[in-house]
Amino acid sequence: MCGITGYLGDRQAKAVLFEGLRRLEYRGYDSAGICVISPEGEMGCVRVSGNLDALAGALEGAELPGTTGIGHTRWATHGPPTVENAHPHLDCDGNIAVVHNGIIENFVKLKHSLQSRGHRFKSQTDTETIAHLIEENYHGDLAEALRLSLGELAGAYGIVAVHRDNPDVIVAARRDSPLVLGIGDGEYFIASAVPAYLTRTRRFIFLEDGELLVVNRSGYSISGPDGREVSHRPVEVDWDIDAAEKGGYDDFMLKEIFEQPRAVADTLADKFDSSGEIEVEELCLEPEAARELRRIVVVACGTSYHAGLLAKYLFERWAALPVEIEIASEFRYRNLVVTGDDLVVAVSQSGETMDTLAGVREAKRRGASVIAVVNVVGSQMTREADGVIYTHAGPEVGVAATKTFTAQMAAMYLLAMHLGRLRGGVSDEKYRMIVGELQVLPPKIEEVLEGRDAVIACAEKYQHCRDFLFLGRSVGYPVAMEGALKLKEISYLHAEGYPAGEMKHGPIALLDKDVPVVAIAPRNSVYDKMISNIEEVKARGAPVVAVATRGDPEIEEICDDVLWVPETMEMLYPVLTVVPLQLFAYYVAKLRGCNVDQPRNLAKTVTVE
Ligand code: AGP
pLDDT tens figures, 126-159 = 999 999 999 999 999 999 999 999 999 999 899 9
Residue 246 falls in the annotated catalytic set: no
Rounded-to-integer distance, Cα 296 and Cα 324, Å: 6
Nearest partner of 285 among 375, 419, 376, 392, judged by Cα: 419
Cβ proximity of 90 and 61 under 8 Å: no
Distance 341 CA to ligand 1 centre (A): 28
Nearest partner of 484 among 473, 475, 472, judged by Cα: 472
Cis, bond preceding 39 (omega within 30 deg of 0): no
Residue 604 falls in the annotated catalytic set: yes
CA neighbours within 13 Å on the CB side: how many for 494? 5
Q: 449-486 pLDDT, tens per residue? A: 999 999 999 999 999 999 999 999 999 999 999 999 99
Q: How far out from the chain centre does Cα 95 lie?
A: 33
Rounded-to-integer distance, Cα 525 and Cα 510, Å: 27
In one-letter notation, the amino acid at residue 341 is D
pLDDT beyond 80 at 241: no
Would you say the CB of residue 259 lies under 6 angstroms from ligand 1?
no
Would you say the CB of residue 356 lies under 6 angstroms from ligand 1?
yes
DSSP code of residue 505: G
**For residue 103, which phi and psi values (nearest 5 degrees)?**
-135, 120
Cβ proximity of 230 and 223 under 8 Å: yes
Q: Which protein residue's CA is at the shortest distance from atom 5 of ligand 1?
A: 302
Would you say the CB of residue 391 lies under 6 angstroms from ligand 1?
no
In one-letter notation, the amino acid at residue 198 is L
Would you say the CB of residue 301 lies under 6 angstroms from ligand 1?
yes
Nearest partner of 417 among 435, 399, 390, judged by Cα: 435
pTM (two decimals): 0.83
State the pLDDT at residue 28.
67
Q: Which protein residue's CA is at the shortest distance from atom 4 of ligand 1?
A: 400
Average pLDDT of the segment spanning 588-596? 97
In one-letter notation, the amino acid at residue 58 is A
Distance 469 CA to ligand 1 centre (A): 21
Testing ligand 1's pocket by substitution, the residue of 252, 310, 347, 350 carrying the most ligand atoms inside 8 A of its CB is: 350
In one-letter notation, the amino acid at residue 495 is A
Distance 375 CA to ligand 1 centre (A): 12
Atom of ligand 1 nearest to the CA of 402: 2
Report how far apart the first and last C-alpha atoms of the chain are (Å, whole number): 30
Cβ proximity of 232 and 205 under 8 Å: yes
Q: 199-215 pLDDT, tens per residue? A: 999 999 999 999 999 99
Radius of gyration for the chain, computed over Cα atoms and rounded to the nearest angstrom: 25
Query: Which candidate in 109, 461, 538, 604 is catalytic?
Result: 604
In sequence order, the 6+-apart residues with CB closer than 8 A to the CB of 450 are none
- What count of residues does the chain have? 609
